[in-house]
Every structure is written in structure tokens, then in C-alpha cells.
Amino acid sequence: MKLYVSLITISLSLIFSINAQDFSIRLFATDNIGNKDTIEFGLFYNSTLGIDSIFNEQDIYLNSWNDLYMRVIQRDSIEHNCLKEYHWLDNSDAPNIYYETNRDSKIDIRPISGSFGTINMNFEILIKSLYPPVFITTDFSEMEWNFYAGYSALHLLDNSCNTLVTKLIYYSGQSDTIYVSYSNTTTLVAEFQHEVSIEKLVNEYISVYLDDENINIKTDSPVNTRLYNLLGKELLKTNISQININNFSNGVYIIRISDENENILKCEKIIIKK
């Protein structure tokens, strides 16, 4: 039977208004003795910078921490701060990835800025617990068919702000416990990038096309390629320019292409139909 494969490039189109990109994400934490906490964050076209009372945002900076507490923090120079350019990005042209002022919140909704990005697109989440392990569960339901799905990721960091595990932010039809942390302090970074690293890589040539049996990748320089399913599970990592797809079942996949320094160059959705 002939194999039909189609490639969908994520781009703005007339069938999606910019308001359709609005979303909020919820994270839930449960410690070893049953304490629970939750936060909510997201991107909304009509939100404003600072404390937006319409979305019930409140600044809880310097409020005391209890046995289990999770916050979206912005440049918390007293307590903790991993979201700095020298930790997160290695090029001097990187966009602002943090707010200049200290602020903590349980709800953090930020505005979408134009067609190709957002203002301060990265959220840093800090969880403190006296009784680990902490089980971190997600609600990604608003990411279904959302423009930022597949371009976005949730990173678990270590105490030195290095990424330990990365999960794609993509609706999978259920709430999943995606991380278990055995530390008293847990740091997550939610990264929403539309045109990923476009400031630095605007001249990079990358072409992805499919034939009956292969995903073909053409670039000007060596790259690493990863293939994920919609649950964010990494199925393949390779540096070759041709990936045979005969062993993959029908469905939707996400392909990510990065350079040798792991800067993401391109992200595509792939639909395989046999």
C-alpha cells in the first residue's frame, strides 16, 4: 500500500485569529504527605503588563512560604533566579526573557505582542517543599489546536539552572504527572517561542520535505534532529539528513531541528498516513 505523508508547517493563516492563540496553563504540585498547591499562567491578547486585576493577578513577592508552595517568579533576586541570559541563551542578541522588577504570583497572564512573538515569553516556576518528593501534574487542555502547541516546552532544571528534562507543551487529552522532584527546591521554566531564535538564525537555510519513505532534511550546516509523539516522548535523535519512517505508525508527530549547540532552528508537525 502506498505511503502518503504530508507536512504541516506551523504558520499564521486566515483561519486563526490572533485571539485564538489565547491560553492558560495550570500546574499542580502534591508533596509526600498530601499537601497541594497550584498556579496558572498563559498568554492573552488583551492582557496588560504588570498586575492585571482582570485576570486576578496578585503580587505575593516576599510573602512567606508554607510547607508546599509554588509561584511564578520574575527576577526574584533574593530567593532564586535561573531565568537569566547567561543561564538560558548564549547569544547577545537574545530577546528579553525576564522582567526587570521582582514579582511573584499565583496567576500570571502576559500579553501577546504582534504576530511573531510575545512579551517576556518565558515563565520561571519555583516550588518549595519540606516533604519531597513532589509530584507535578499539568493541565494543557487549552493548548489543543493552539498556535503555540509544539513550539513550547516545560523544562525541569537542576540546582545549577541546567536543564535536566524537557517536555513539550502539547494537549494530550489528559492531565499527566510529568515530573517527580526529590528536591526541597524545584525550578521549572515554561518556554513559549514562536519563531524560535529568529533574531540569530534568520539567514539559516533549512528545508524539510517528505517522500514515500523518508523525512529529508537539508541545511547549510550540521544539525541534530529529534522526533516526538504528541505526549512529548522523544522517539528518535539523530544527526543524519534522512529519517526512514516505515517503522512509525499513523499519527501526528513533531520534529525539532537544532544546531550543534542545541539552539532550536525549526519545529514542524508531521502527519503520517499509510
List per-block mean pLDDT (blocks of 10 residues) for the chain, which spans 274 residues.
Answer: 44 40 91 95 85 90 87 73 63 49 88 58 89 94 80 84 84 80 92 50 64 84 84 83 87 80 72 74
Q: What is the structure's pLDDT at 27? A: 95
> Within 13 Å and on the Cβ side, how many CA atoms surround 157?
23
The pLDDT assigned to 96 comes to 47
Tell which residue, 108, 159, 163, 156, has the closest CA to residue 135. Answer: 156
What is the Cα–Cα distance from 165 to 155, expressed in whole angstroms? 6
Cα–Cα distance between 63 and 144 in angstroms, integer? 35
Q: Which three cell numbers stand for residue 47?
A: 492582557
Confidence at residue 8, expressed as pLDDT on a 0 to 100 scale: 42
Which pLDDT belongs to residue 15?
35
All structural domains of the chain, each given as residue ranges with its CATH number in brackets, are 4-13+200-273 (2.60.40.3080), 20-192 (no CATH)
User: Cβ(39)–Cβ(72) under 8 Å?
Assistant: yes
pLDDT given for residue 76 in this prediction: 64
CA 168/CA 71 separation, integer angstroms: 21
